Amino acid sequence: MKKNNRGLIPLETTNHRLGERRFYPGTHTLLLLRRRQNKKQSLTGFTMIEILLVVIIIGILASLIVPRLSGRSEEARRQAAKADIMGGLALALDLYEADTGKYPSQLNDLLKEPSGVNNWRGPYLKRGISKDPWGSDYVYQAPGIYNTESYDLFSSGPDRKEGTDDDVTNWNVET
């Protein structure tokens, strides 16, 4: 029997001149074994070093990206609080004042008619009084300390403490 350059006996040989094929008994098992070995080699996964390198690269990329995204989300929260204070709540308070001639004593007066108030045409907020982006209530005071002619409205910010530098307010404090 003839062997090929790998030392295997071919499953079939072809006589090119006559176009006939000859099969050698028992050779098919050798070829099947060789094919199974090749499949095992091709089905093997990544090495532990390759996996560790990928995990390290992902960790480095995450350490570069996460701080940038968290800073942006905090700025987005500040902008959302500013929009609530200067937008929706301010408009509702100004409408209340236009109807009744004075600002409400508390924010809940925007939702339910307080006793002793004339010309109340509310509710002035459709969805109720929302919390600030950090989950705290907005602080309202009328007449205001900083806005003596109207009202003070602010969020205590991410630290949830009133009077700190991270407060979001409807007034400008020069320091």
> Residues 75-85: pLDDT tens digits?
888 888 888 88
**How many distinct structural domains can be found in the chain?**
2
Say if residue 139 is in the same domain as residue 59. Answer: yes
Structure pTM? Answer: 0.56
Query: CA-CA distance, 36 to 38, in Å (whole number)?
Result: 5
Both tokens of residue 71?
A: 């800073």
Q: Where are the alpha helices (DSSP H) in the chain?
A: 27-43, 48-83, 89-100
pLDDT of residue 118: 87
Buried b (16+ CB within 10 A) or exposed e, 91-128: ebbeebeeebeebbeebebbbeeeeebeebebebbeee
Residue 6 inside a domain? The answer is no
Say if residue 57 is in the same domain as residue 17. Answer: no
Say if residue 81 is in the same domain as residue 153. Answer: yes
Among 41-50, 75-84, 150-159, whose mean pLDDT is lowest? 41-50
Upstream peptide bond of 104 is cis (omega within 30 degrees of 0): no
Residue 130 inside a domain? The answer is yes
Residue 31 reports pLDDT greater than 70? no
Query: CA-CA distance, 156 to 132, in Å (whole number)?
Result: 9
Query: Which residues span the domain enclosing 19?
Result: 12-43
Residue 152 inside a domain? The answer is yes
Say if residue 52 is in the same domain as residue 38. Answer: no
103 — pLDDT class (breaks 50, 70, 90) = very high
- Higher pLDDT residue, 42 or 151? 151
Say if residue 28 is in the same domain as residue 77. Answer: no
Query: CA-CA distance, 132 to 127, in Å (whole number)?
Result: 14
Nearest to 141 by CA among 85, 64, 66: 85
Mean pLDDT to the nearest integer, 149-153: 90
Residue 5 inside a domain? The answer is no
CATH of the domain at 138: 3.30.700.10
pLDDT of residue 11: 55
140 — pLDDT class (breaks 50, 70, 90) = very high
3 — pLDDT class (breaks 50, 70, 90) = low
Q: Nearest 10 degrees: CA dihedral of 84, 85, 86, 87? A: 30
- Higher pLDDT residue, 165 or 97? 97
Tell me what the pLDDT averaged over the chain comes to.
78
Mean pLDDT to the nearest integer, 8-31: 54
Nearest to 142 by CA among 174, 165, 114: 114
pLDDT of residue 175: 39
